[in-house]
Amino acid sequence: MPNKQPPSDQRHATMADVAAHIGVSRQLVGLAFRHAPGVSAETAAKIFQAAEEIGYQPNLAAQALRREGTKYIGVTYHTSHSSSEELLPAIYKAAETHGFKVILSATSSLRSDQEALNEIIGHRCDGAILISSTLPNSRLQKIAKSLPLVSLSRRIEGVNCGVVASHGEHGVYEAVQYLASLGHKAIAYVDTVEMFDHEYRLQGYQDAIRELNLENWIATISGDYIESAGAQAAEQFMSQGELPTAIVCANDQVALGLVYTFQKSGIKVPGDVSIVGYDDTIARNPFLDFTTVHQDAKELAEAAVADLADRIAGKKKLAELYLTSANLVVRSSTSVPRLN
């Protein structure tokens, strides 16, 4: 009766296996994998080759358990939030350059933000990036005391965490100014009140309108299906007698709903109405090719990770706000106004 099973196919290789394979100590293998100084280049090469041969992959759980910090960044995001499509890859990249691994934790109608965050705490992540989190500020403030936090794409206030979002005021302001420069005077704005940070984008609209001495024309909509909300806004405009000559939307999805519905009713974009979106997600899709405000996923991700890394290193404690660029990208959904 064997008191110890031979390393079966089932068991994963460990550092000890690698070490035994070439006759060095386990610790030395550890040093090599940590890229710590004091391992001769020759030995290191042998070690990595042996690891390759027996298919060794470091056990992340063991690392996380033993290390002072886990070197994990937790990221919560909502599965149907379209902007995370570009944000997540950028976060992976940025985290890697800062020496962190990413642990994703998805939220949805079936999984709350709190559950997602608990998982991150369970993994003992050194810090967390919360994308458009719906957690109340009081809750966040409590969590921020023991876990470095960055709120991404949601400008929260009164919480000691980093906040990273695109400069909505500026982006929308620029869009309205551009439309005015084309000769538009009846410029409307579609405000989606259930979207985070909608108020800042609205602010940009109002600032520009005031400065241009034009009239406010705001359509306020709400609803889960954001494209449908855009469609609903289109109906609203069409039932009001005269249409504006240009409409700025709080995001690309609303713009799509709007354009689709107009076209279905025979209203041409941009011939009859110019439309501008925000986000530059679906807008850049060649068949849509909407004029929109571009927010840069890479810039957002890098700012978020850099701030979080500073917090983890203890260099920051207080609230800090970063507004990343939001610039108009002119494409084919805008033109000079129609002749009435």
Partner DNA sequence: GGATTTCGCTCGTCTCTAAGG
Partner DNA sequence: GCCTTAGAGACGAGCGAAATC
User: Do 283 and 252 contact (CB within 8 A), yes or no?
Assistant: yes
Q: Give the number of residues in contact with DNA, rule: CB under 7 A.
A: 30
Taking CB under 7 A as the rule, does residue 223 contact DNA?
A: no
**Which of a second copy, DNA, none is residue 34 near (CB under 5 to 8 Å by kind)?**
DNA
User: Do 179 and 209 contact (CB within 8 A), yes or no?
Assistant: no
| x/- track of binding to DNA for residues 30-49 (CB under 7 A) | xx-xx--xxxx-xx------
Among 11, 142, 210, 268, binds DNA (CB under 7 A): 11
In 197-250 the beta strands, taken as DSSP E runs, fall at 218-221, 246-249
Count Cα atoms within 13 angstroms, Cβ side, for 205: 25
**Which of a second copy, DNA, none is residue 278 near (CB under 5 to 8 Å by kind)?**
none
Tokens of 264: 């279905």
Taking CB under 8 A as the rule, does residue 181 contact a second copy?
A: no
What letter represents residue 199's amino acid? E
What letter represents residue 226's amino acid? I
CA 19 to chain CA centroid, nearest Å: 42
Among 36, 45, 65, 321, binds a second copy (CB under 8 A): 65
Count of CB atoms situated within 10 Å of the CB of 331: 18
Classify strands 218-221 and 246-249 as parallel, antiparallel or unpaired.
unpaired
Cβ closest to DNA, residue 42 vs residue 157:
42
Helix (H, G, I), strand (E, B) or coil at 130: strand
Q: What angle do CA 314, 319, 321 make, to 5 degrees?
A: 115
Tokens of 292: 């929109």
Among 58, 104, 141, 207, binds DNA (CB under 7 A): 58
Contact range with a second copy by CB under 8 A, out of 36-44, 118-126, 202-210, 239-247: 118-126
Residue ranges that bind DNA, judged by CB under 7 A: 11-12, 14-16, 23-28, 30-31, 33-34, 37-40, 42-43, 56, 58-59, 62-63, 65-68
Residue ranges that bind a second copy, judged by CB under 8 A: 9-10, 12, 55, 57-62, 64-65, 70, 79-80, 84-86, 88-90, 92-93, 101, 103-106, 108-111, 118-119, 121-124, 145-146, 225, 227-228, 230-231, 257, 260-261, 263-264, 285-288
